[in-house]
Amino acid sequence: MSETKNLIYAGKAKDVYETEKDDEVIVAFRDDITAGDGEKKDNLKGKGHCNSLISSKLFEVLESNNIKTQYIKLIENGSMLSKKLDMIPLEVIARNIATGSLLKRFPFEENQKLDPPIIQMDFKNDEYHDPMLNDEITISLGIATQEELDEIKNITLKINKILSEFLKEKGILLVDFKLEFGKDEKGNIVLGDEISPDTCRYWDIDTLETLDKDSFRKGQDNVMDIYEQVCNMIVNKEDLAKWGVSF
């Protein structure tokens, strides 16, 4: 990997490296896939590449709609050049349809449309198993101020609208998704991490077929086929030519 220096952070499916510039990092997507708080694991050849393409495309869609992200450019298969952020330890989840863990915790009907969407915040901390937070706990822990939380929620709702409309045109229903935010060197709140089948629930808009990591959670044997299908639905030949990569 060109221009990289030291490893800064190794996550469950991505590594973050220093670059020659103090304010830039390289986000390298690995082929690892996990579920159940990391208890279920596998390695799927090509998954990291798929996720880097999907994330790059969706970050570019958001940037074109005036959402600030850490994304700079896709520099090679599986790796994005990104702005360095001081990450906020929150997982911000937007839910448009009631499914998954929401049904285990609350008496929603399965596939109930959530209007307005639910914005849920979890504490990103493996030791405490990412518990759900309210504003008061978040503020008391010193994670964010009320003003910052309000801004994060507003940005998340804007992202939800932009991505829902974009993906609908591609034949994909955006059921729910997880975002992570950080602060840049000026203290601005900026979208980071990734937006991919690892962090979103995508359903086929006609059949409601699963097009995301739920296929791995359910033990399906065609998980990589699904990731490649989503990539082909979202990323076009012009994108690949612009980035100078293949798929």
Supply the range of the domain harboring residue 82: 7-86+223-243
Where does residue 4 fall: left (phi above 0), alpha (psi -120 to 50 degrees), or beta otherwise?
Answer: beta
Segment 96-114 shows an average pLDDT of 97
Segment 105-116 shows an average pLDDT of 97
- Mind listing the pLDDT tens digit for each residue in 159-202? 999 999 999 999 999 999 999 999 999 999 999 999 999 999 99
Segment 106-117 shows an average pLDDT of 98
12 and 30 assigned to the same domain: yes
184 and 100 assigned to the same domain: yes
Answer yes or no: is 210 within a domain.
Answer: no
Rounded to two decimals, the pTM is: 0.96
Q: Are strands 14-18 and 132-133 parallel, antiparallel or unpaired?
A: unpaired
142 and 192 assigned to the same domain: yes
Answer yes or no: is 80 within a domain.
Answer: yes
Q: Do residues 197 and 51 make contact, with C-beta atoms less than 8 angstroms apart?
A: yes
Domains contained in the chain, number: 2
Write the secondary structure of 194-221 as one string of H (helix), E (strand) and C (coil): CCCCCCEEEEECCCCCECCCHHHHCCCC
- Tell me, what's the pLDDT at 3? 52
153 and 237 assigned to the same domain: no
In sequence order, the β-bridge partners of residue 113 are 97
Q: Is the pLDDT of residue 4 over 80?
A: no
- Mind listing the pLDDT tens digit for each residue in 24-64? 999 999 999 999 878 899 999 999 999 999 999 999 999 99
